[in-house]
Amino acid sequence: MALRRVLALIALLGAVAMAAPTPAPSAPVRGFVDAHSHLMSYEAFGGKLLCGKPFDPAGAARALLDCLDHHPNGEAAWFENFTRTGSPVGTHDPVGWPTFKDWPAHDSLTHQQAYYEWIERAWRGGLRVMVNDLVANRQLCEIYPLKSNPCDEMWAIRREAQRTVELQNHIDTLSGGPGLGWFRVVKSPEEAREVIAAGKLAVVLGVETSEPFGCRTTLGVPHCTRAQIDRGLDEMHALGVRSMFVCHKYDNALCGVRFDSGTQGAIVNLGNLLSSGGFWRVERCRGPEHDNPISPAVLPPELARWLPPGVGLPVYPPAPHCNPKGLTSLGRHMVEGMMRRGMMIEIDHMSVKAADQTLDLLEAAGYPGVISSHSWADPAFLPRIYRLGGMVTQYGHAAEEFAEEWRRTQPLRQESGRPGYGYGLDANGLGPLPAPRAGSAVTYPFLSFDGAVSLDRPRTGERVWDYNVDGVAHYGLVPDWIEDLRQLAGQPIVDDLASGAEAYLRTWEGATAPAAR
């Protein structure tokens, strides 16, 4: 690597490589897995909802720009304001590069959180496997008034897959040529192991979308067929997709969803109406598992106008709430099709009824390729996931909450003989990143979990970030969050996380084994 590149890494990433042995390709992987993030979601939702890009050939000055409608002071950025503060009214400094006064920030959901140099710092700090979930939501696209892209979800998925390969090629160019970059899209666990053994980041493509293959419903009538699902799965597999959700946010032709709560729930329930012709229905839960409660909330004026005249949000009985819709016959066909193709099946966002039926199906087949990637499944299902040989990764909560859930679930991994934990950061997924912890005392510089890299405060342009003040303001501060977890919960939590990439690869290997298909 040229001296200029080394000096740039030290200045921009705050990362200095130390001496470290190169692992043998056959050795178990040591390092972290992020099983749920969205690098290319700026192309989703019509292409105008999220501001900034993870890369641009012209550099950060072109990639890290605010949306035009956020100028001059963020007053018109009602979606940013609403998701950040609960009110559509607010302001922020729209200038990104080089000052970054107000963004990125851990709680700013419409600004780019995963610029490629920030991902690079996380990789140098121990990230070994990243699942890049290609994401789309037709209803959010149609509701948001500004757009440059079609609202068709599969169009967005294809575009995001293309952009991911373009990012790989961009990093290759900066690294000296084809195949030389540290960011590698992989299509099998064997390829992932080879990439990691070569000292690079293995990137797996996933899909999280509400209407896969057009499988929505109108008043209960499905808009897709088994043949359509088969063609869609073949196309996704050819694109390199190896992990997929069956439903997300709205009831579709495949399964019912696990509800959202609060004001976000009200917005998503409106989307369910626009997507399917009806609001969510609830029933009395029949077991200990239950879906998230639907709590009373008021839609912001910008969204309330989408309600039909004279129609208001429904009033539900007291919780616990369960969605009466489970896995449909078309949903079962999709799950069986994913098993035949050795794909990882995501059960997050499924209603408890649908998740229970899916796990029944996987258990009957002895299929281990199942994952809960970002804390959106009922915790009662986790033992069944582990017994199958599946994987659980936790949403990127603030350090105290993350450590508490790690402690709670640790006995499950010990009992099932499935060591290894991970996180689903959900970067660029319209969810907050870990907030700063009161009392955190990450001391700079600090060493990565394996002692291979010294990490100082990262800098982009004129801005220097400090985890103790900013939390995970962007993806590059994930190693700092893990260092805070170490200080909070001790070395065992880091050791469990450092076994996460290996655990993910073993689950994936189980899914692709002939006996599992």
- What's 214's domain CATH number? 3.20.20.140
State the pLDDT at residue 516. Answer: 66
H helices within 219-340, ranges in order? 226-239, 262-276, 301-304, 329-340
| Domain range enclosing 224 | 3-18+31-60+111-133+153-258+326-516
- Does a structural domain hold residue 309? no
Q: SS3 for 54-85, per residue? A: CCCCCCHHHHCCCCHHHCCCCCCCHHHHHHHH
Give CA–CA dist 326/429, Å, rounded: 25
- Does a structural domain hold residue 297? no
Gyration radius (Cα) of the chain, Å: 22
Q: What is the pTM of this model?
A: 0.95
69: left (phi over 0), alpha (psi -120 to 50) or beta: alpha
Instruction: Give per-residue pLDDT as tens, 216-235.
Output: 999 889 999 999 999 999 99
Average pLDDT over residues 44-71: 97
What is the torsional sign of CA 389, 135, 356, 496? Answer: positive
Average pLDDT over residues 272-277: 91
Instruction: Give per-residue pLDDT as tens, 132-172.
Output: 999 999 999 999 999 999 999 999 999 999 999 999 999 99
- Return the closest-CA partner of residue 457 out of 438, 484, 476: 476
pLDDT winner (highest mean) among 15-29, 171-185, 263-277? 171-185
- Does a structural domain hold residue 447? yes
pLDDT winner (highest mean) among 17-21, 84-88, 229-233? 229-233
State the pLDDT at residue 15. Answer: 74
H helices within 449-512, ranges in order? 467-470, 478-489, 491-498, 500-512
State the pLDDT at residue 299. Answer: 85
Instruction: Give per-residue pLDDT as tens, 359-418.
Output: 999 999 999 999 999 999 999 999 999 999 999 999 999 999 999 999 999 999 999 998
State the pLDDT at residue 2. Answer: 46
Instruction: Give per-residue pLDDT as tens, 114-142.
Output: 999 999 999 999 999 999 999 999 999 99
pLDDT tier at 298 (50, 70, 90 boundaries)? confident
Q: CA 179 → CA 188, 200, 204, distances in Å?
A: 17, 11, 16
- Does a structural domain hold residue 269? no
| Residue recorded with tokens 């804390």 | 375
Would you say residue 264 has pLDDT above 80? yes
Rounded mean pLDDT of the chain?
Answer: 94
- Does a structural domain hold residue 243? yes
The pair phi, psi for residue 144, each rounded to 5°, is -75, 125
- Does a structural domain hold residue 317? no
State the pLDDT at residue 87. Answer: 87
- Does a structural domain hold residue 72? no
- Does a structural domain hold residue 181? yes
Would you say residue 324 has pLDDT above 90? yes
Number of domains the chain is built from = 1
